[in-house]
Amino acid sequence: MDDLERLMAGLDELFPGHALDESLSVTLPAGYAVWPDPGFPQHRPAERPAFWMSEEPVTGDVWARFRAGHSSSGLWPVLLDDSAQPWSAGQIAPEPVAEIATYDPAAFMAEVWTEWHEPPMDITPFGYYSPGPAMPGEPVEDADAAADRYAGHLPGRPLGLVPAGRGADVLAAIGWQGARHHNPLTAPLSAVIRGWEDRFGARVVGIGFDTLDLSIAAPPMTFRHALHVAAEHATFCPEAIVQGPGTLEGHAEQIRGARAWSFHWE
DSSP H or E run through 79: strand 75-80
Neighbouring residues of 153: CB distance < 8 A, sequence distance ≥ 6? 60, 260
Residue-wise pLDDT for 97-136, tens only, equals 999 999 999 999 999 999 888 888 999 899 888 999 999 9
Report DSSP state, residue 123: -
Neighbouring residues of 161: CB distance < 8 A, sequence distance ≥ 6? 11, 14, 51, 52, 53, 66, 73, 75, 76, 77, 78
Residue ranges of alpha helices (H) inside the chain are: 3-11, 60-68, 70-73, 105-114, 143-151, 170-174, 187-200, 223-236, 239-242, 248-255
SS3 content of the chain, % helix, strand, coil (to 5): 35, 15, 50
* Confidence category of residue 142, pLDDT binned at 50, 70, 90: very high
Q: What is the C-alpha radius of gyration for the chain, rounded to an integer number of angstroms?
A: 18
The overall average pLDDT reported for the chain is 87
Neighbouring residues of 200: CB distance < 8 A, sequence distance ≥ 6? 136, 137, 216, 217, 218, 219, 220, 229
Q: pTM for the complete prediction?
A: 0.90
Q: Is the pLDDT of residue 1 over 50?
A: no
Q: How far apart are CA 165 and CA 162, in angstroms?
A: 9
Residue-wise pLDDT for 22-74, tens only, equals 444 567 788 888 888 776 665 566 677 888 888 899 999 999 999 998 988 88
Distances in Å between the alpha carbon of 121 and those of 184, 242, 245, 266?
A: 21, 6, 9, 16
Closest CA to 81 of 265, 263, 206: 206
- pLDDT mean over 229-257: 96
Confidence at residue 46, expressed as pLDDT on a 0 to 100 scale: 65
Confidence at residue 50, expressed as pLDDT on a 0 to 100 scale: 86
Confidence at residue 74, expressed as pLDDT on a 0 to 100 scale: 87
Residue 242: how many other CB atoms lie within 10 Å: 16
Residue-wise pLDDT for 6-25, tens only, equals 444 455 666 554 444 444 45
For the ranges 124-133, 178-187, 201-210, which has the lowest average pLDDT?
A: 178-187
Strands 157-163 and 51-58: antiparallel
Closest CA to 85 of 49, 124, 47, 37: 37
**Cα-to-chain-centroid distance, residue 152:** 17
Confidence at residue 40, expressed as pLDDT on a 0 to 100 scale: 64
- pLDDT mean over 62-88: 86
Neighbouring residues of 15: CB distance < 8 A, sequence distance ≥ 6? 74, 163
Confidence at residue 165, expressed as pLDDT on a 0 to 100 scale: 94
* Confidence category of residue 157, pLDDT binned at 50, 70, 90: very high
